[in-house]
Structure formats: C-alpha cells, structure tokens
Amino acid sequence: MFEIRIHSRGGQGGVTAARLLALAAIYDGKYATAAPFYGAERRGAPIVSFVRIDDKPIRIYSQIRKPDMVVVLDASVMDVVDVLQGLKAGGKVFVNSQQKKTFSGYVSSNVDLTGIALKENLVVSGSPILNTPVIGALAKMGIVSVESAKKAIREMFTDERNVKAAEAAFREMSA
C-alpha cells in the first residue's frame, strides 16, 4: 500500500487534490481512498488530507501516521506543522515552491504550482487553486498515469484550464 499525506491551507484545494488523486488511481486499475482531516478549520488554516493506493481492496480509513510520501501545497505550512513527522525513511517529499527544497534522507521534488495556477487564472476568492496542477506533478512522479489524471480532472471540472494546469505541472516537474 502506498500512503500519501497532503498538507495544505483551507481554500487551496488540498481536499479536492486527494479526491482527484484517488480517482485517477482508480482509473489506473488500483484501489484508492481519500479522506480529509478537519478540525474547526477555516480558509487559510492548515488542513491535512490522506490518500491510500493499493493493488488490493483497502480496509483502513484512519489518518496516515507513517506515509510513504508527503505533499506540501503551501510551504508556509512547514512553519507551523512538522510535515515530515512519521515519513518513512527514503520517502518522497513534494513541495509547491519556486526554489528547490531538499530534505536529508528523503527524495525531494518541487514545482511552482502557484505560478502555474496564476498563469491559468485558477483563482477563487483571491487564492490560487492548486489541486489540479499538483495531480499533473504527481503523474510525472509516477504516482498515477497522466491519462488517468486528466480523466479524473475532466470528471470533476468542466473548465479545461484545470487540465492545462496539470499538463503544465507535468512538463515543469523534474521527475
């Protein structure tokens, strides 16, 4: 089982990113679950979402304490949350950032999802929406296929800018 923990802020699309990723994995013929963890959250507050992907049915629906991968949609979350907590040795870390972020003992990747969202004008209430571009980056990392990623995005959103954002992140991502 491959377990992913997604750190974001309310309103950025982290919860939807988890749902999109699970749906794309299902389109790839896998089993997948997605679940958010909410407290008394509001727009801008740190949010955590979880995705599990496996070749066999998943019967675990709890929080993920020891993920294989951590996705950080807003680097400022790292100032208030230990996003690496419980990450398995040699695990993957993806950070939405213009600057290269590295984490000792982990495989680190990044792309400027915010810049991609702004370029495609994917903004709601002044916040760039990062859920569709991150799916493109994760497809480049081999978590799901790019075809399934686009199919999942098109199922959830009619605006083709979302697919363009995922394609841009796929291209800009250094796998």
* CA atoms of 153 and 162, how far apart (whole Å): 7
- The yes-or-no verdict on residue 128 having pLDDT over 80 is yes
E-state strands within the chain: 2-9, 31-37, 46-54, 69-72, 92-96, 107-111, 123-124, 127-128
Percentage of the chain lying above the pLDDT 70 cut? 95
C-alpha span between 38 and 138 (Å, rounded): 23
Under 8 Å between Cβ of 1 and 54: yes
Q: Which is the CATH superfamily of the domain at 2-172?
A: Pyruvate-ferredoxin oxidoreductase, PFOR, domain III (3.40.920.10)
Share above pLDDT 90 across residues of the chain, in percent, rounded to a whole number: 81
Cα distance between residue 161 and residue 174, in whole Å:
22
**Which has more confidence, 47 or 6?**
6
User: Residue 89 has what pLDDT?
Assistant: 95
pLDDT, greater one: 38 or 48: 48
Between CA 37 and CA 43, with CA 39 as vertex, the angle to 5 degrees is 95
Least confident of 34-48, 94-108, 126-140: 34-48
User: Side-chain half-sphere of 45: how many Cα atoms within 13 Å?
Assistant: 8
Bridge partners of 153? none
Tell me whether strands 46-54 and 31-37 are parallel, antiparallel or unpaired: antiparallel
d(CA 21, CA 31) in angstroms, rounded, equals 11
pLDDT confidence of residue 174: 65
Phi, psi of 162 (to 5 degrees): -65, -40
Residues in the chain: 175
Give yes or no for a contact between 83 and 46, defined as CB atoms under 8 angstroms apart.
Answer: no
pTM to 2 decimal places: 0.93
Residue 171 confidence (pLDDT) = 95
